[in-house]
Chain A
């Protein structure tokens, strides 16, 4: 019992997080004329040992969220609590300490590794910044262990990034992320640059490492099938806000937000027999500019259910009232005034 409650203690709590990038005009006399609301008030929890997937289209703010969680961008407002400490307010030594425990794996293994450094130096560099993790004489052996853990030959320690394939480079990126024994790894599109046959290898490796080291992942991606595969819970973002969040079954099999439904219905399923059986929701138009988002619900300009209320009132992310006391899959948080369950993934 005690163990169960401790397991459900969130390791990361994000509350009303915002990032607005100012838009300025003028060279000498700079004047702020507006702001790009890249992330505009999102909240979620991350628990020990789980994977939270974040999906959304380009420009929805998912990568900005990753940078905010690492404190690589200064938040405009809101809090990110890591073990009770608000990391958006930290600096200096305290921030360095927290960053040891929150690491990141980047999208493009071709540009995120310094081409002039050997693999040993790339991974070992983390120990220069955090010498308490590995004493000096021990580092080379530690790097070789890490290479072994991610399935690379430890003898490759003196090679340069260009001597590896894309999948192998992403393994190096993962080894670097693991070097400091972090608790949380934020993965921003970790497999989207890889070939299909290599993607599965890297996904399997990440799952194995999660079990082995009890890691928590925030897995940001635009590929909805991969996110379902790896995630315990999934959050769907649209234009800087969280539209819907729930367990993988709740989101994929019982989506209640129209945007989630449109997004899922647009994913082609690798089954030609299902070609005509699935309903396709084709959205009209493009995503509005985050500098000037629509009033009320941000999705209303493309939503087929939109009514006057949607323009006036911002829908809150909450369990819709009609599902609140049911045990249906639709009983999860959704930011829609007219939330309604609709299965768009399975063929009729």
Chain B
């Protein structure tokens, strides 16, 4: 019994597909994504715009607009239960209480005409049936917890009265309100300055430890990932192209796209020569190249890459790479 519980991941996404039906045709934004997160673990999903990283997260949260989006196949299991086959009410029970999300842009995610205390308290009023006064007390407690100075005085302030970093703290407080088991953070610090980013990431890591939560961190910042992640999934054109524990991925990438990304960022600690640039552009999802989607930009591409889609091959026990030539890539 206990062993079965221990081996079931907190969240498991398997063979997830998401497509959008648009006027110009079907956009396959997510194409068979698999990943899993355990309690207390941080999974970083790395990818550029259009790679499908945010759409996957929205599918997990169940906040995709359907239509135009459609999930033709796949499973999203939370503690072994498939959320896609649940009733709306069951799903709603999980959302917020068990799985919460932190969005990138705190200013547009908060309601500008309601005080932050009201918005934080709403979580308790709706989910736990507390009255106004109790909810407000809870809101102050939460604001204290995310280290907003003078929480009791600021609880009636409106979002515009807070700085960007403080607003993001309020978003974190809101996500933490019901002590969820899993947090999905979609570019939580992209809009913030570096010193504020450091504060917010620190806070997030501390709270994750305290509550032993699973964290899915969606980002394009290779620096942030190196700092906080346990394992990484790299996405490109709707597929996972590489998965690995964080140290191994940085030390020895097994996919040319990952290698290209790592080589193309300038370093803070040394002045480099000319930057390596991945040639070309990310593909239009209406016209994804045949075979491996990365082949037109790949320095290693050969005929097989243009015709045959590489499956995610096992590089080692906990690593995978969707490249026909992962062995060569791994060895430089």
Q: Mark A residues whose CB is within 8 Å of B.
A: 57-58, 165, 167-168, 195-201, 203-204, 207, 222, 224-226, 228-230, 248-249, 252, 262-275, 280, 282-283, 285-287, 345-346
Q: Which residues does chain A contribute within 8 Å of B278, judged by CB atoms?
A: 197, 200-201
Report which residue of B266, B276, B277, B279 has the largest number of chain A beta carbons within 10 angstroms of its beta carbon: B266
Whether, in the assembled complex, B250 has its beta carbon less than 8 Å from a beta carbon of chain A, the answer is: yes
Q: How long is the Cα–Cα vector from A269 to B224 in the complex, in angstroms?
A: 8
B223 & A282 in contact (Cβ 8 Å cutoff): no
Asked if A273 meets B247 with Cβ closer than 8 Å, knowing A229-B272, A262-B195, the reply is yes
Q: Which residues does chain B contribute within 8 Å of A222, judged by CB atoms?
A: 193-194
A272 & B226 in contact (Cβ 8 Å cutoff): yes
Q: In chain A, what residue has the closest Cβ to B269?
A: A345
A345 & B268 in contact (Cβ 8 Å cutoff): yes
B262 & A270 in contact (Cβ 8 Å cutoff): yes
A269 & B266 in contact (Cβ 8 Å cutoff): no
Report which residue of A204, A230, A272 has the largest number of chain B beta carbons within 10 angstroms of its beta carbon: A272
A252 & B272 in contact (Cβ 8 Å cutoff): no
Q: How long is the Cα–Cα vector from A264 to B297 in the complex, in angstroms?
A: 33
Whether, in the assembled complex, B329 has its beta carbon less than 8 Å from a beta carbon of chain A, the answer is: no
Q: Which residues does chain B contribute within 8 Å of A263, judged by CB atoms?
A: 194-195
B268 & A267 in contact (Cβ 8 Å cutoff): yes
Closest Cβ–Cβ distance, residue A306 to chain B (whole Å):
16
Q: Which residues does chain B contribute within 8 Å of A275, judged by CB atoms?
A: 226-227
New A-B contacts (12) at CB < 8 Å, excluding given A195-B282, A229-B275, A345-B268: A195-B48, A197-B260, A200-B264, A200-B278, A224-B194, A225-B268, A228-B271, A229-B267, A268-B227, A280-B202, A282-B199, A286-B165
Asked if A269 meets B268 with Cβ closer than 8 Å, knowing A197-B277, A200-B276, the reply is yes
| B288-313, CB < 8 A from A | 297
Q: How long is the Cα–Cα vector from A270 to B269 in the complex, in angstroms?
A: 10
Whether, in the assembled complex, B221 has its beta carbon less than 8 Å from a beta carbon of chain A, the answer is: yes
Whether, in the assembled complex, B36 has its beta carbon less than 8 Å from a beta carbon of chain A, the answer is: no
Would you mind naming 6 contact pairs between A and B with Cβ atoms under 8 Å apart?
A196-B261, A197-B264, A225-B267, A264-B268, A269-B227, A272-B246
Asked if A200 meets B277 with Cβ closer than 8 Å, knowing A195-B49, A263-B194, A286-B166, the reply is yes
Q: Which residues does chain A contribute within 8 Å of B48, judged by CB atoms?
A: 195-197
Q: Which residues does chain A contribute within 8 Å of B266, judged by CB atoms?
A: 203, 225-226, 228-230
Q: How long is the Cα–Cα vector from A273 to B297 in the complex, in angstroms?
A: 29
Q: How long is the Cα–Cα vector from A346 to B229 in the complex, in angstroms?
A: 20
Q: Which residues does chain A contribute within 8 Å of B164, judged by CB atoms?
A: 58
Which 9 pairs from chain A and chain B are nearest by CB?
A268-B223, A229-B266, A57-B193, A266-B198, A200-B264, A200-B277, A270-B222, A195-B48, A197-B278
B222 & A267 in contact (Cβ 8 Å cutoff): no
A249 & B269 in contact (Cβ 8 Å cutoff): no
Closest Cβ–Cβ distance, residue B143 to chain A (whole Å):
15
A283 & B227 in contact (Cβ 8 Å cutoff): no
Q: Which residues does chain A contribute within 8 Å of B197, judged by CB atoms?
A: 266, 268
Closest Cβ–Cβ distance, residue A273 to chain B (whole Å):
6
Q: Which residues does chain B contribute within 8 Å of A230, judged by CB atoms?
A: 266
A280 & B198 in contact (Cβ 8 Å cutoff): yes
Q: B194: which of A195, A252, A266, A345 is its contact (CB, 8 Å)? A: A266
Q: How long is the Cα–Cα vector from A285 to B196 in the complex, in angstroms?
A: 9
| B204-228, CB < 8 A from A | 220-227
Q: B268: which of A57, A228, A262 is its contact (CB, 8 Å)? A: A228
Q: B271: which of A229, A280, A285 is its contact (CB, 8 Å)? A: A229
A283 & B268 in contact (Cβ 8 Å cutoff): no
Report which residue of B225, B250, B251, B264 has the largest number of chain A beta carbons within 10 angstroms of its beta carbon: B264
Whether, in the assembled complex, B274 has its beta carbon less than 8 Å from a beta carbon of chain A, the answer is: yes
Whether, in the assembled complex, B265 has its beta carbon less than 8 Å from a beta carbon of chain A, the answer is: yes
Whether, in the assembled complex, B163 has its beta carbon less than 8 Å from a beta carbon of chain A, the answer is: yes
Q: In chain B, what residue has the closest Cβ to A201?
A: B277
Q: How long is the Cα–Cα vector from A122 to B113 in the complex, in angstroms?
A: 40
Closest Cβ–Cβ distance, residue A96 to chain B (whole Å):
36
Q: Which residues does chain B contribute within 8 Å of A198, judged by CB atoms?
A: 281
Closest Cβ–Cβ distance, residue B34 to chain A (whole Å):
23
Q: How long is the Cα–Cα vector from A165 to B283 in the complex, in angstroms?
A: 11
Q: How long is the Cα–Cα vector from A201 to B297 in the complex, in angstroms?
A: 13
Could you give, for residues 41-79 of chain B, a 1 whenever the CB lies within 8 Å of some chain A CB and a 0 otherwise? Answer: 000000011000000000000000000000000000000
Asked if A203 meets B198 with Cβ closer than 8 Å, knowing A195-B49, A268-B226, A272-B226, the reply is no
Q: In chain A, what residue has the closest Cβ to B164?
A: A58
Q: In chain A, what residue has the closest Cβ to B224?
A: A268
Q: In chain A, what residue has the closest Cβ to B50?
A: A195
A272 & B250 in contact (Cβ 8 Å cutoff): yes
Q: How long is the Cα–Cα vector from A46 to B49 in the complex, in angstroms?
A: 36
Q: How long is the Cα–Cα vector from A201 to B250 in the complex, in angstroms?
A: 22
Q: In chain A, what residue has the closest Cβ to B46?
A: A196
Q: Which residues does chain A contribute within 8 Å of B275, judged by CB atoms?
A: 200, 203-204, 229
Could you give, for residues 231-272 of chain B, a 1 whenever the CB lies within 8 Å of some chain A CB and a 0 otherwise? Answer: 000000000000000110011000000001110111111011
Q: How long is the Cα–Cα vector from A346 to B265 in the complex, in angstroms?
A: 17
Closest Cβ–Cβ distance, residue B287 to chain A (whole Å):
14
Q: In chain A, what residue has the closest Cβ to B229?
A: A272
Q: In chain B, what residue has the closest Cβ to A227?
A: B266
B166 & A270 in contact (Cβ 8 Å cutoff): no
Closest Cβ–Cβ distance, residue B98 to chain A (whole Å):
29
Report which residue of B194, B260, B264, B282 has the largest number of chain A beta carbons within 10 angstroms of its beta carbon: B194
